[in-house]
Amino acid sequence: MNPAVEKPHDSDVATRRDKGFVITQELIVAVAAAVLFVLFSVALDNFLTPGNLVALVRNVAVLGLLSIGMAVVVIGRGVDLSLVAVMAVSLTVSIVLANKGYGFGEALVIGLGFVLVVALVLGFLVAYVEIPSIFATLAVASIVYGLGRGVIADLDVNNIPSDLDWFLFIGRGSVLGIPVSIWLFAFTALVLYLFLRRTGIGRFIYALGDNLETARITGIPVRPVIVLQYIISGLMAFLAGAVTAASVASMNMRIVNSTVIYDVLLVVVLGGIGLTGGRGGVRNVVVGTALIGLLLNAMTIMDISYTVQNLIKSAVLLLALIVDALLNPRDEQTAQQGDI
Amino acid sequence: MEAATRLYYRYFPEKLLGEVLTKRWSDNLVPAFAVLLVVGFFLARDPGFFSLASLTETSRQLAEFSIIVMAMGIVLLAGGLDLSVGSVFALANITALICMNLLGWPVWATIAATLAVGALCGAVNGFLIGYLRIRAFLTTLVTLIIIRSIVDIILLRYAVAISAVFPDSDFWFFLGEGNVLGMPVSFLVAVAIVLTWHVVLTRARFGWHLSAVGGSRRSAFNAGLNVKRTVFLTYVWSGVLASASGLFFAARLGSAGSDTGVGLELAALTAAVLGGNSLGGGRGSVAKSVLGAIVVLILTDSMVRIGISGGISSAILGGILLLVVAIDVRWLKNRHKILNKVYVSPSYFKLPEMPETDAGSGTPYALNDRLREVSLIGKGQIEGPEVVIFDRHDNLYCPNRHGDIVRFLAPDYDEWEIFAHIGGHPLGMAFDRHDNLNVCVGGMGLYRIAPDRRVEKLTDETNRTFLSVIDDSRLKLADDLDIAPDGRIFFSEATIRYDMHDWAYDALESRGNGRLICYDPRDRSTRTVLRNLQFPNGVCMVGDGESFFFAETWGCRINRYWFAGAKKGTCETVVPNLPGYPDNINRASDGNFWVALVGMRSPALDLALRKPGLRKRMATRIARDEWLFPNINTGCVLKFAPDGEVLESLWDLGGVNHPMVTSMREHKGYLYLGGLYNDRIGRLKLKDADPDWTSQEFYWGAENGSR
C-alpha cells in the first residue's frame, strides 16, 4: 500500500519537530480549549454552575456526533451539508409515527430506514452519478427539509409522546455521574476511531480522500466506499437527532435553517481535518468539538445576540478556512475539474 | 435499393446534426426547449399569467433575477461559484434604502454607494478565492452567513426608521416603477447589461480569459494569463451585478424585510446550471443564464400561485438542481462520445470498376520494379518529407513533421540544415517568380518564406460559406499549391471537417469536404473557388496560364479547373478512374505530368464506400485501428499527358527502399520522391529525361535578378 496511506499525515503539515516534542494543530486546539475553559470558569459567573455544564455537555455531544459524521465524509474528500436536515427530519419521522400509534421502537427503526434511504440516494448521486458532494448534499438537504415540512409533518415542532422515559434517558440520564449522551459520544468516537484506524475499509477512506484516482487504480472499490461514508454520516445524524430529541422531548425542524451545519464544519476544520481529504481522525473531532462547544456556550452565557453569534462564528470559520488553505494548500495535480 | 441509399445519403441532413452538436450554442437548445415547455404549460393552465399587468411585474422580477443568474454564470464560467449573491443582494437593498430614506442622498450617490458595497463584498470573495485559493463553495457559503448577519444587525437597528420615511425623488420611483415605451426601466437596463456582457464574454479579451481560466486553469496559467486576477475580478463583477439587482429591488419595493434574498443563491445556481452553464467552468454564456433565469422564475412564481408550500417548493427546486447538475456532469463526461457517434457521417460513393494493374495486363498501370533502384537522401535524419522542391541553386527543400523546412545542400545532399521554422505540418511547397518559397501548412494556412528565411503568413482564413454550421472560414488542412503566372496562388484544402491527424475520418466519410482556394497577393484577398471536393490534394498549373490540374484523393480522379480564359470557372475530370489515391501532381520535362498514387484501391473498401451504414457502424463501434483504411503503404508514380491519357507507371512492389510515395519532383534528369510518413527522400535517375530541365526555370524563366 501507498506509504502515505499507511501513515496518514494528519499532522505532517503543521508539525514542527522540536526536541522530540510535536506541535500539531490538534494540540494547539486542545490547549486552547483547556485555557478557554479555565478562563471562562474564572471570568464568567454562570459558567461553572451544574445546569450550564449539563447544557454544555449535551450540546457538545450532539455537535460531536454530527462532526464525526462530517469527519468521515471530509476525510474521503467530500462534504455533507445534509447532516442537520437528515437529523431533524429523520427524528421527526419517528416522532410523527409514534404519535400516530406506532410503537416508539418501531418508529425509530422506520426513522433509521429513512436515514438509510437518504444516505443511499446521496451516495449514489456522489459516487455513481459523480455530482460534486457539495451540490448533492446541499440539494438533498433542501429536498429532505421540504419533504419534512410539506409531507411528513404539519408542524415544525413535534413533541415526543409521554411515558417514554427509556428514550428520554438517552438525553437526560447519567451513568456513573456522567451524562448518557457523553457516554454515547465517547462510545461512538471509539468505534469510529477503531473503524478508521484499524479496519481495511477505514484505510480505504483515507486512500480515496488522499487521491481518488490512485485509489481507483489500486483496486479499491471507491464507489461503494463513498456510499458507505454517507451511510455512516447518516447514522451519526440519526444518533445526534436521537440525543437532541431525548433531551428536549421534541424535535424542532427549524434547526435546519440555523447555522448548526457551519458549527459542524467549524469543528472539523478547526480540529485539523483538512478539507483536501485524506487526513485527520476522530481525535481531531474531539478536540475541535471541545473548543467550539466551549465557545458557543460562553457566547450564550455572555448574552451575545443570535445574529452577532453567527457573525462571530462565521468569521472564525472563515479564518479557519484561510488557515486551512495556507496549511493544506490544494494540490493542483489531484484537484479535479469541477472540484469547487 | 442502391439508388435509395444514394438519395438518402445525399439529402438526409445527418451531417448537419453532428455539426450542430459541435457548436457551443447547441447546449442552449435544451434550456430553450424547457422555456417553451414551461411557458406553454402555464399558459394552458392559467392564461391570466400572461396578462400585460402580470407580464410587466414578471419582467421586473426577471430583470432582477436574470442579473443575479448572470452574475452566477460569470463566476461559474471561470470555474468558481458564488453563493453569497443572495446576501449581497440583501445588503445592497438595505444600503440603497439607508442612503435614500435615512441619509437622503441623491440617487446617483446611492447608486454609487450600493455598487461599491457590492464590489467590496465581491472583492473579499475574490481575494479569498482568487489569491488565497480557498475553495469557492465553502468561502462563499461563509461570506453568505457573514453578510447575512450584517444585514440582520443593520435591520434590527434601522428597519423601523427605513419604513417610516419615503424618499422624495422622482427618478428613484422612475427606476423602480417607471416605464419607457411600455417596458419597465429595470427590464430595459437589464437587457442593456445582458447585451453588454454577451459582447464582453464572446468578443472581448476579458471574456475570453474567463473561458480560458474556467476551461483549463493550468493551461491558462501556462499561456501567460493572470489567473488569480481573472478569478478575483469575476467575484468583483458578481458582487457589483448582485448589488445592481438589489438596487432595483430597493427602488421597486422600498421594503427592508429580513427574508430579502434568502434562498436566492440556490435559485440562481439552479437557474444558471439549468441554463447550461457548467459547474467547474469553461462552458457558459449569458444566453444560457437568461434562459435558465426565465425557467426558474416562471416555475417559482407559478408554484406560489398554485399554492405549493414553501417547504415543498424548495424541495422541488432542490430536485431540479440535482437533476440539472447530474445532466451537466454526465453530459460533460460523455459529450465527446456522443459527438464521436454522430459527427462522423459517411456518405454514398460509387467508384467505377478498378483498372487492371497486373504485371501482364498491358495497361499503363501494369506492375513493375522501376522504383526499386532509388537511392536515398537523408535516411533517418528527416521525419515526414511530404514533398521535395529545388531552388535555382539545386538545393533541396522538404518539410518535416516538426514544422520545419529542411534544406539539403547541393550537390550531394549529405549536409542539411533547418532553413526555417513555421510550425504545424508543412505540406505542399512552390517557389514563386521572386524565389519566395510558398508553403501550405496543415493546421495553419498558407505561408511564405523569403530567400532571407523570413517567414510570413499569407492567409489563414477564407470567406465563410453562407449558412454553414461549422465555421469553414479557418483553414484546417491546407494541402498543396501552385502559382498562376499572374502571381495568384491556388491551393487545396483537403477537408474542412477534420484536422490533419484525423484524415482517416474524412476517408471514411468519402464526402466532398474539401475545397480549392485562391489567394491573390495583389490585394491580399482569399476566396474559395470550388467546394465539395473529395480530399483535393495535388495542384499543378497546366501551363496555359488559365487552368490547373488538381487531384481528388478519395475520388481517385484528376480534374482540370479553369480560372481564366474562355472556360473560366469550369471544372472537368481529366483522369476519371485511377487504380489508387492520387496525391501530388508535378510537371515532367517532356511536357507531361507526374502524379503520385499514395496508395492503391482495394475491392473491399470500394464496396464499403457504397455502404455508408456499414462505415457508420464501423466508426462508432470498433477501434480506429480496426477500420477498413485506404491503403497508403504501396503506391506508384504515374505519368499522364495533358489530355488525361495515362502514359506509364513506376512501381516498387516491396516498398523496401521507398515505402510511401506522396509526391515526386523532376529535377535535372532525376526524379525525387517524398513520403508523408517516410524517414528518407528517394532519388531515381530518369533515362530519357532532359538533364538540364528544372521546373523552376521552365515555369518562371531564367533567373530574374531578384536575388
Residues of A in contact with B318 (CB under 8 A): 138-143, 146
Chain A nearest-CA distance from B146, in A, is 5
Report pLDDT digits (tens) over B7-18: 887 777 777 877
Q: Are B390 and B694 in contact (CB under 8 A)?
A: yes
CA distance B340 to B616: 11
Predicted pLDDT at A332: 57
Compute the distance between CA of residue B66 and CA of residue B655 in angstroms, rounded to an integer. 66
Q: Residue B2 — very low, low, confident or very high, per pLDDT cuts 50/70/90?
A: confident
| pLDDT computed for residue B281 by the predictor | 80
The whole-number pLDDT of residue B704 equals: 55
Same domain as B408, residue B547: yes
CA atoms in the 13 A half-sphere facing the CB of A212: 19
| Nearest chain A alpha carbon to B215 | A337
pLDDT digits (tens, 9 = 90+) for B105-138: 888 888 899 999 999 999 999 998 888 888 787 7
Chain A's closest residue to B329, CA to CA, is A131
- What's chain A's length in residues? 340
> If 0-12 CB within 10 Å is exposed, 13-18 middle and 19+ buried, where does residue B213 land?
buried
Residue B48 confidence (pLDDT) above 70? no
Of B213, B269, B261, B229, the residue nearest B73 (C-alpha): B269
Domain carrying residue B265: 12-341
Using CB atoms, which residue from B142, B311, B333 is nearest to A317? B142
State which of A131-135, B113-117, B700-704 shows the largest mean pLDDT: B113-117
Is B706 within a domain? no
**Neighboring chain A residues of B138 at a CB cutoff of 8 Å:** 79, 134, 265, 275, 321
Predicted confidence at residue A228, as pLDDT, reads 93
Q: Cα(B265)–Cα(B71) distance, rounded to whole angstroms?
A: 11
What whole-number distance in Å separates Cα of residue B269 and Cα of residue B275? 10
The number of beta carbons lying within 10 Å of the beta carbon of residue B132 is: 14
Name the residue among B476, B590, B588 with its Cα closest to residue B540: B588
Report residue B275 as a C-alpha cell.
441554463
What is the DSSP track for A301-329? HTT--HHHHHHHHHHHHHHHHHHHHHHS-
B45-60 mean pLDDT: 71
Residue of B488, B548, B495 whose CA lies nearest to B518: B488
Residue B347 maps to a domain: no
Looking at the structure, tell me whether residues B405 and B299 fall in a common domain.
no
Which three-class secondary structure string do you get for B157-182? HHHHHHHHCCCCCHHHHHHHHCEECC
B381 in the same domain as B331: no
Q: Which long-range contacts (CB under 8 A, 24 or more apart) does A8-16 make?
A: A8/A206, A8/A278, A8/A279, A8/A280, A8/A281, A9/A279, A10/A272, A10/A273, A10/A279, A10/A280, A10/A281, A10/A284, A11/A272, A13/A274, A13/A327, A13/A328, A14/A272, A14/A327
Low-confidence winner among A57-71, A101-115, B425-439, B690-704 (lowest mean pLDDT) = B690-704
Of A147, A148, A311, the CB nearest to B150: A311
Distance between CA atoms of residues A267 and A261, nearest Å: 10
Cell of B512: 466532398
Domain annotation covers residue B7: no
Using an 8 Å CB-CB cutoff, list chain A residues near B217: 332
Per-residue cell: B98: 439607508
C-alpha cell at B532: 465539395
Say if CB B377 and CB B413 are below 8 A apart. Answer: yes
* pLDDT higher than threshold 90 for residue A315: no
- Based on the domain organization, do B259 and B117 belong to the same domain? yes
Residue B281 lies in a domain: yes
pLDDT of residue B616: 87
Per-window interface: A 135-164 vs B, CB < 8 A: 135-136, 138-151
Predicted local distance difference test score (pLDDT) of residue B256: 75
* Interface with A, mutate which of B124, B228, B279, B327 (most A CBs under 10 A): B279
The whole-angstrom distance between B320's CA and the closest CA on chain A is 9
A339 has a chain B CB within 8 A of its CB? yes
Q: Which of A147, A311, A340 minimises the CB distance to B280? A: A340
Helix A180-198, helix A165-172: angle, nearest 10: 70
Identity of the residue in A146, A275, A318 whose CB atom sits nearest the CB atom of B146:
A318
| Contact check, Cβ <8 Å, A150/B311 | yes
Per DSSP, the three-state class of A178 is strand
Of A99, A232, A104, A86, nearest in space to A148 by CA? A86
CA distance B679 to A168: 85
How distant is the Cα of A182 from the closest Cα of chain B, in angstroms?
29
* C-alpha–C-alpha distance, residues A86 and B495, integer Å: 57
The answer to whether residues B323 and B388 belong to one domain is: no
Tell me the shortest Cα–Cα distance from B45 to chain A, in angstroms. 23
Pick from B376, B523, B524, B414: which is nearest to B460 by CA? B524
- Asked if B558 and B687 sit in the same domain, the reply is yes
Amino acid identity, position A65? L
Q: Tell me the chain A residues in contact with residue B332 when contact means C-beta distances shorter than 8 Å.
A: 338
Given an 8 Å threshold on Cβ–Cβ distance, is A142 in contact with B314? yes
Summarize pLDDT for B237-268 with one digit per residue, the tens.
Answer: 999 999 999 988 888 887 777 777 777 888 88
Q: Does B314 share its domain with B448?
A: no
Optimal mutation site among B146, B148, B262, B273, interface A, most CBs of chain A within 10 A: B146
User: Are B275 and B292 contacting, i.e. CB atoms less than 8 angstroms apart?
Assistant: yes
Say whether pLDDT at A16 is over 60: no
Mutate to test the interface with A, among B83, B317, B322, B332 (most CBs of A within 10 A): B322
**Alpha carbon distance A269, A274 (integer Å):** 6
Q: Do B139 and A318 touch (CB under 8 A)?
A: yes
Q: What is the CATH number of the domain that holds B114?
A: 1.10.3470
Count CB atoms within 10 A of the CB of residue B507.
25
Nearest to A149 among B81, B139, B309 (CB): B309
The one-letter amino acid code at B79 reads: G
Supply the pLDDT for residue A10: 44
Query: What's residue B438's pLDDT?
Result: 94
Residue B216 phi, psi (nearest 5): -155, 100
CA of A239 vs chain B CAs: smallest distance (Å): 24
Considering the domain architecture, whether residues B293 and B407 belong to the same structural domain is answered as no
| CB interface of A with B, residues 303-322, below 8 Å | 307-308, 310-311, 313-315, 317-318, 321-322
SS3 readout for B486-550: CCCEEEEECCCCCCHHHHHHHHHHCCCCEEEEEEECCCCEEEEEEEEECCEEEEEECCCCCEEEE
Q: Cell match 481528388: residue?
A: B552
| Higher pLDDT pick, A332 / B278 | B278
Q: Which residues in chain A are contacts of B284 at CB distance < 8 A? A: none
Q: How far is B192 from chain A (nearest CA, A)?
A: 31
Closest CA to B96 of B231, B210, B244: B244
Q: Degrees (nearest 5) of the Cα angle B497, B498, B501?
A: 170
- Closest partner residue to A325 (CB to CB) among B134, B313, B314 is B134
Nearest CA-CA distance, residue A79 and chain B, Å: 10
Residues B528 and B649 in one domain: yes
Distance from CA of B279 to the nearest CA of A (A): 6
3-state helix/strand/coil string of B583-628: EEEEECCCCCEEEEEEEECCHHHHHHCCCHHHHHHHHHHCCHHHCC
| Within a domain: B358 | no
CATH value at residue B649: 2.120.10.30
The pLDDT value recorded for residue B558 is 95
Give the closest-approach CA distance of A176 to chain B in angstroms.
Answer: 40
Pairwise CB contact (< 8 Å): A139 & B312: no
pLDDT (0 to 100) of residue A338:
43
Residue of A nearest to B273 (CA): A135
Domain presence at residue B359: no
Are B437 and B448 in contact, with CB atoms under 8 Å apart?
A: yes
Whether the pLDDT of residue B491 is over 90: the answer is: yes
Distance of CA B373 to the CA centre of its chain: 46
Residue B23's closest CA among B470, B472, B528? B470
A137: nearest CA in chain B?
B322
Interface of A with B in 251-290 (CB under 8 A): 259, 262, 265, 275
Residue A225's pLDDT band (cuts 50, 70, 90): very high
Determine which helix (DSSP H) or strand (DSSP E) holds B438, and give its type and residue range.
Answer: strand B437-442
- What is the number of CB-based contacts under 8 A between chain A and chain B? 143
Report the residue from B128, B153, B319 with minimal CB separation from A308.
Answer: B153
Domain count of the fold of chain B: 2
Q: What is the pLDDT of residue A262?
A: 81
Rounded to the nearest 10°, the torsion over CA B43, B44, B49, B53 is: 70
Task: Assign A19 a pLDDT band (cuts: 50, 70, 90).
Answer: very low
CA distance A228 to A146: 25
A327 to chain B, any CB pair closer than 8 A? The answer is no
Per DSSP, B694 falls in state B
Residue A25's pLDDT is what?
73
B contact test, residue of A142, A154, A336 with most B CBs within 10 A: A142
State the pLDDT at residue A8.
Answer: 43
Alpha carbon separation from B531 to B25, B328, B472 (Å, rounded): 26, 38, 11
Q: Is residue B705 part of a domain?
A: no
Q: What is the DSSP string of B51-114?
A: SHHHHHHHHHHHHHHHHHHHHHHHHHHTT---TTHHHHHHHHHHHHHIIIIIS---HHHHHHHH
Q: Which of A273, A257, A272 is nearest to A310 (CA)?
A: A257
Q: Name the residue in chain A with its Cα closest to that of B258.
A: A307
Q: What is the mean pLDDT of residues B519-526?
A: 92
Range with the poorest average pLDDT among A121-125, A228-232, B186-190: B186-190
Residue B365 maps to a domain: no
Q: How confident is the model at residue B49 (pLDDT cuts 50, 70, 90)?
A: low
- Range A240-260 average pLDDT: 84
* Minimum Cα–Cα distance from A156: chain B residue: B311
Give tens-digit pLDDT for B447-475.
999 999 999 999 998 888 887 888 888 89
Reference B256, options B146, B99, B120; nearest CA is B99
Find, in chain B, the residue whose alpha carbon is nearest to that of A155.
Answer: B311
- Answer yes or no: do B588 and B681 share one domain: yes
Instruction: Tell me the Cα Rg of chain A.
Output: 20
Domain boundary assignment for chain A: 3-15+22-327
Burial of B291: CB neighbours in 10 Å, binned 0-12, 13-18, 19+? buried
Interchain CB contact of A32 with B (< 8 Å)? no
Partners of A144 on chain B (C-beta within 8 Å) are 315
In this structure, CATH architecture of domain A3-15+22-327: Orthogonal Bundle (1.10)
Same domain, B413 and B531: yes
Average pLDDT, chain A: 81
**Interchain proximity B280–A337, CB inside 8 Å:** yes
pLDDT digit string, tens, across residues B650-685: 988 777 778 888 999 999 999 999 988 888 999 999
Q: CA-to-CA distance for B392 and B696, rounded, in angstroms?
A: 7
Q: Residue A318: closest CA among chain B residues belongs to which residue?
A: B142
Residues B20 and B146 in one domain: yes
- The string of DSSP codes covering B299-329 is HHHHHHHHT--HHHHHHHHHHHHHHHHHHHH
**Which residues on A lie below 8 Å from B143 (Cβ)?**
314, 318
